[in-house]
Amino acid sequence: MASTVPSIERAARGVTSASVLDFLRRPKRLLIGGKWVTAKSGKTFETINPANEEVLALVPEGDKADVDEAVKTARKAYEYGKWPTINPHQRAKYLLTIADLIEKHVDELAILETLNNGMAISLARGFTLMAADTFRYYAGWATKIYGETNPSDPSMFNYTLREPVGVCGQIIPWNGPIAMLAWKIAPALACGNVSILKPAEQTPLTALRIGELILEADLPEGVVNIITGYGETAGAAIASHPDIDKVAFTGSTEVGKLILQASSGNLKRVSLELGGKSPNIVFPDADLEDAVPTSLMGFCMLSGQVCCAGTRVFVQSDFHDRFVDHLTRYASKVKAGDPLDASTMVGPLVSKEQFNRVNGYIGAGKNEGAKTAIGGEVRTGKGFFVDPTIFTDVKNSMRIAREEIFGPVAAVIPFKDENDAVFQGNDTTYGLAAAVWTRDVSRAFRVARAIKAGTVWVNCYNNIDPISPFGGYKQSGIGRELGKHSLDLYTQIKSVYVKL
Ligand code: NAP
Ligand code: MG
């Protein structure tokens, strides 16, 4: 059990927002059945500010017993409550209210997200607004979930209904907590499901605050439940629970495989949004003014802790040195710094564990013979800061080109021609995203088609909109979230035959 009493003044240094400080001072609880409760075990754990390593709050350590309780109340809300069968216009209204509340509290939520995750405040604001948009987008779908009538024998009438799946377990990572919460909860609710959400152990705070906003929106009790706790206990209990109908997971490929195994007990539906090692392919005719800064942020946004980060930068050989020169010059202006400062682009990594992991990979890159064009030094002092690091002399077979580092680290790899770029780009076990930079329209379309990835950006990077599907080829996942595709994850189809 955690014992340190947090000093909010130290942990949230520089924050003057009364609502943020009030929230940090309030005791943290689990949200089960519309009520805030302590973990049955009474245990709590510390959550920190990765910019200064101070404890921000003590959070309940929910485990299997709490998950069981949440499943009971969620099941009751689903089977006997009004949520799955209320008028869809009413359901849309609830989602719109949540969206409005998130937007109304954007500053407060963004500060909390930055304090707990370390992401630059400008990014935290952007993610929070995207979360509001996600709720609005799925509010629109609540009234547009259609079945079909089928051309059956004239003596029969056959139609289909699209019905909710039921109780959904939703396990999210720490890299975009508010956005991930919205990607999970909004479509699940729009389709009439109920949710049990487990935020990541590193970043539980914004989910708890949004839990308060969800209660303010007056959602029927038990429709949204929030269990903070560890993956190995609370998360595993969700994945294997016999009375959870569906699990949606975002996180590492390694844990994704465990979720799939754990789901087999009751054959619950599974959707997985996993890691990546995305190729960002730059041809010599690219607009350098745009390609250079965007490619840099392609692997530095959120300190590179982004599943779709463009961490393998492929550059045509005859253009390689010039591009690396420009990229390095840009990178030299971007130092990891105070994430609450509005001008900061790169904050700290989320945890000591990530800091060690990323620095470990940087060491591995050097050992394998790659050269650092910039960065690569281990920073000392408080906070888990890693500066943008660019490796050259990288072969696509090296660990730094194959494994997900999840830090602001890129491997620049030369290619001979278009075929070679596509071949090397696809030479990975992942397939989440990719980008191609060229002014040649035909080449852009050809490469976009040839790359095996769930999202391809042409002359841009990291653009994500709730209207468009997101998810992975190969070991980057199963299923697509966002767009109308989330409806497939959160509904099931019933065929009804009526004898005339
Ligand atoms: P992770 O373990 O996959 O965490 C994702 C979520 O799954 C968290 O809520 C986690 O809880 C939970 N979890 C962990 N083990 C579980 C289990 N056995 N059953 C059910 N749920 C479980 O990721 P991580 O440990 O935070 O990060 C490790 C690496 O994963 C990163 O370095 C990065 O490469 C990758 N990653 C990828 C993404 C992505 O968006 N694709 C996101 C995060 C991390 P806890 O928080 O308690 O672990
Ligand atoms: Mg973990």
Q: Which residue among 255, 307, 432 has the greatest number of ligand 1 atoms within 8 angstroms of its CB, and so is best to mutate?
A: 255
Concatenated DSSP letters of 15-66: ---HHHHHHHHSPP-EEETTEEE--TT--EEEEEETTTTEEEEEEE-B-HHH
On average, the pLDDT of the chain sits at: 97
Residue 171 CB–ligand 1 contact under 6 Å: yes
Task: Report the nearest-CA residue for atom 35 of ligand 1.
Answer: 252
Question: In ligand 1, which atom is closest to the CA atom of 172?
Answer: 9
| Residue 450 pLDDT > 90 | yes
| Residue 2 pLDDT > 70 | no
Query: Looking at residue 185, what is its pLDDT?
Result: 98
Instruction: Report pTM.
Output: 0.98
Task: Report the nearest-CA residue for atom 42 of ligand 1.
Answer: 251
Which of the residues are catalytic?
A: 273, 307
Average pLDDT on 389-409 reads 97
Please tell me the distance from the alpha carbon of residue 329 to that of residue 116, in angstroms, as a whole number.
31
Task: Report the nearest-CA residue for atom 13 of ligand 1.
Answer: 231
Backbone torsions φ then ψ of 159, nearest 5 degrees: -140, 165
| Residue 149 pLDDT > 90 | yes
Average pLDDT on 406-432 reads 98
Question: In ligand 1, which atom is closest to the CA atom of 258?
Answer: 18
Average pLDDT on 348-353 reads 98
| Residue 95 pLDDT > 70 | yes
Ligand closest to Cα of 247 equals 1
Query: Looking at residue 6, what is its pLDDT?
Result: 79
Sheet order of strands, 455-458 included: 371-374, 389-392, 409-415, 312-316, 279-282, 433-437, 455-458
Give the 3-state secondary structure of residue 498.
Answer: strand
Q: Which residue among 252, 476, 478, 482 has the greatest number of ligand 1 atoms within 8 angstroms of its CB, and so is best to mutate?
A: 252
Q: Which residues have a Cβ under 8 Å from the Cβ of 405 and sit 6 or more positions away?
A: 304, 311, 357, 358, 361
Query: Looking at residue 370, what is its pLDDT?
Result: 98
Query: CA separation (Å) from 400 to 288, 361, 369, 411, 435?
Result: 25, 6, 11, 7, 19
Residue 406 CB–ligand 1 contact under 6 Å: yes
Q: 254 C-alpha vs ligand 2 centroid, how far in Å?
A: 10
Residue 274 CB–ligand 1 contact under 6 Å: yes
Please tell me the distance from the alpha carbon of residue 53 to that of residue 269, in angstroms, as a whole number.
38
Q: Which residue has the tokens 């840009």?
A: 330
| 293-339 pLDDT tens trace | 999 999 999 999 999 999 999 999 999 999 999 999 999 999 999 99
Most distant CA pair in the chain, distance: 78
What residues form DSSP beta bridges with 159? 149, 496
Residue 201 CB–ligand 1 contact under 6 Å: yes
Cβ proximity of 332 and 431 under 8 Å:
no
What residues form DSSP beta bridges with 247? 169, 270
Residue 200 CB–ligand 1 contact under 6 Å: yes
Question: In ligand 1, which atom is closest to the CA atom of 350?
Answer: 26
| CATH number of this structure's domain 279-465 | 3.40.309.10
DSSP H or E stretch at residue 436: strand 433-437
Q: Which residues have a Cβ under 8 Å from the Cβ of 276 and sit 6 or more positions away?
A: 307, 308, 309, 404, 430, 431, 432, 433, 472, 476
Task: Report the nearest-CA residue for atom 29 of ligand 1.
Answer: 252
User: Taking the alpha carbons of 308, 432, 182, 142 in that order, is the dihedral positive or negative?
Assistant: positive
Q: Which residue has the tokens 């269990």?
A: 227
Question: In ligand 1, which atom is closest to the CA atom of 255?
Answer: 3
Residue 308 CB–ligand 1 contact under 6 Å: no
| 223-258 pLDDT tens trace | 999 999 999 999 999 999 999 999 999 999 999 999
pLDDT-derived band at 4 (thresholds 50, 70, 90) equals low
Query: CA separation (Å) from 341 to 19, 226, 407?
Result: 19, 30, 20
Query: Looking at residue 269, what is its pLDDT?
Result: 98
Task: Report the nearest-CA residue for atom 16 of ligand 1.
Answer: 231
Task: Report the nearest-CA residue for atom 25 of ligand 1.
Answer: 252
Residue 403 CB–ligand 1 contact under 6 Å: no
Average pLDDT on 419-446 reads 98
| Residue 15 pLDDT > 90 | yes
| 63-90 pLDDT tens trace | 999 999 999 999 999 999 999 889 999 9
Residue 230 CB–ligand 1 contact under 6 Å: yes
Query: Looking at residue 3, what is its pLDDT?
Result: 55
Half-sphere exposure of 474 (CA within 13 A, CB side): 16
pLDDT-derived band at 119 (thresholds 50, 70, 90) equals very high
The DSSP bridge pattern shows strands 433-437 and 279-282 to be parallel
Residue 231 CB–ligand 1 contact under 6 Å: yes
Question: In ligand 1, which atom is closest to the CA atom of 404?
Answer: 34
Backbone torsions φ then ψ of 381, nearest 5 degrees: 95, 180
Residue range(s) in the chain whose domain bears CATH number 3.40.605.10:
8-274+477-495
Cβ proximity of 278 and 311 under 8 Å:
yes
> Which CATH superfamily groups domain 8-274+477-495?
Aldehyde Dehydrogenase; Chain A, domain 1 (3.40.605.10)
> What's the chain's Rg over C-alpha atoms?
23
| 36-46 pLDDT tens trace | 999 999 999 99
